[in-house]
Amino acid sequence: MIGKQQSVVPFSEINPRQLDLISKIRADFLGLPHAGFDVSPGFFITQDAFLAFVKANKLQKKIDDLISTIHFERVDSLIQVSNHIQKLIVDSRISPELTLEIKSEYKKLGGIFKKPLVYIGENKAVDNLESLLKVIKQTWANEFRPKQLLLAHEHKRSNFHKDFSIVIQKVIGVNMKGKISTKNLIIETNSRLSNKQRKNLEELGKRLKKHFYFPHVVTWALEKNKIYIMNVKPMTNAQRSYLVLIRHGESVWNAKGLWTGWTDVELSKKGHNQARDAGLRLQDINFDNAFTSGLKRAQQTLEEIKQVKNQTNLPTVESKLLNERDYGDLTGKNKWEVEKEFGKEQFMKWRRGWDDSVPNGESLKDVYKRVVPYYEEHILPRLKSGKNVIVAAHGNSLRALVKHLENMSDSEVTKLEIPVGQILIYQIDEDGNVAGKEIRNQA
C-alpha cells in the first residue's frame, strides 16, 4: 500500500522535503500556509503517486518502447506515438489504495454529505470523485504531449524525470474574487468591495510583498470576510505578452532557388512539415490573435500551426502590408544564376542591402515603411493589452520588423538572416518594449 506521506498530502501536512521535489511555482503556493497565509483547503498528489501508478500498470517499459519508435524529424510520427501513450495512461487504472486516499481527502473538503467543487491546476473544475480521477489521469497524460516528448529528446532527458505532482483545491468565494499585484498593490476584481475589505486586501498584498523576493500576481477569494489565496504566479510571466514571428516553411520556389517576392506560390511538402513542426514547438504558448500576409505560403504555414495547436478558431487577420519584398525584374529568376551574371557584390546588395532597390521592385527600406506602421497600429495595441500574438510572414517583412524591435542599425540588418520555418519569440512588456527573446529552430 502506498504511504500517505508519499501519495496524497493535505496542504496542512506538507513538509519542506516535499516542496523541494516540486516545481517552484507550486512550491511558492504550497509553502504559503507555513508562512501564516490562509490558503483555500486542498491537497496535492505527489510524484511518488504517479510513479506508483506507472509501476502498478507496468507502463514504463511500454512508454519507453513507444518513444523509441518515434521518428523525431516527422511530425506525424511524434503525434501518433504521443496519442498512443496518452491513451495508455488514461485507460489505465488508479489503484484501490490510491483511490481511497484521494476519496478521503476529497470528501474532507466538502463534508460527508456533499460533494465539493474543486480545481485541478488552475481552471479544471469537477464536482464528483469519478470526474476527479479521470482528470488526474489526463493531467499525467498531458506530460507526454508531442511538445514534451520533443523537448525531452532534444535535451536528452528521461520523460519520467519531471514534476508530475497535482494540486487539488476547493473552489470558494465564487461571488467575491480577484487578483492583487505585490509590485504595486493594485487590486483587480469585478465585485464591489467595502472599504474594510479593500484595506484588508492591501494589508495582505504588503505581507505577500515581504514574503516573495520577486513580484507576484496573487489570485484571492473572499468567503465570510476571510481572504483565501487561490493561486500565485511570478509577475515576470504574468505581465508580459508573447509576440511570435515565424517565416513560412519552404515554398515550391524556395526549393528551386528562385526569387519569389509577390508571386503567390504554395508550400512544398517539406514546407508543410516544417509548419507542423513549428506548431509542436509552440505548444506552450496559447495565442489570442494571428496575423499573416496576403500570400498563400504564409497563410498555409499559419493554418498548419493552428491545426497542430488545436486553435483552428484563432482570430486571424490577413494583410498585404505584411507581404514579402517585391523583387521586381528579378522575380522568378534563379538566385545563383543572378549572382554569376551580376557578381557577388551587386547580388548581396539586392539580396541583403537596406536601401538597395531591385529594378522595378522594393528595397528592404521600402518594406520597413509598410510593415512597421502596420505593426504599431494593429499588432502592438494587442500586445500591450496582454494578448499573445503570432505573425506568419516572410523573410524580408520579418527582417524589417526585427530591425524595428531590436533597434538595429541599417548596417546591422544587412547581416540578419531568417531561415524558412525559424521561430522568433519576443516577450513584450506592458509599455510595448522588448523584454526578452528566444529563437526556436527546426528539428
Active-site residue list: 248, 324
| Count of beta carbons in the 10 Å neighbourhood of residue 379 | 21
Taking the C-alpha atoms of residue 50 and residue 94, their distance in angstroms, rounded to an integer, is 9
Sign of the alpha-carbon torsion through 421, 427, 428, 434: negative
Closest CA to 290 of 311, 266, 310: 311
Three-state secondary structure string covering 8-64: EEEHHHCCHHHHHCCCHHHHHHHCCHHHCCCECCEEEECHHHHHHHHHHCCCHHHHH
* Parallel, antiparallel or unpaired: strands 166-170 and 216-223: unpaired
Do residues 244 and 391 lie in contact, with contact meaning Cβ atoms separated by under 8 Å?
yes
> CA 120 → CA 44, 106, 168, 402, distances in Å?
9, 12, 5, 39
Closest CA to 84 of 100, 97, 68, 99: 68
Given strand 216-223, what is the order of strands in its sheet?
A: 187-189, 177-181, 216-223, 226-234
Given strand 241-247, what is the order of strands in its sheet?
A: 316-318, 289-292, 389-393, 241-247, 423-428, 434-440
SS3 139: helix
Q: Which three cell numbers stand for residue 119?
A: 480545481
Cell 479544471, located at residue = 124
> CA 200 → CA 179, 320, 325, distances in Å?
13, 53, 58
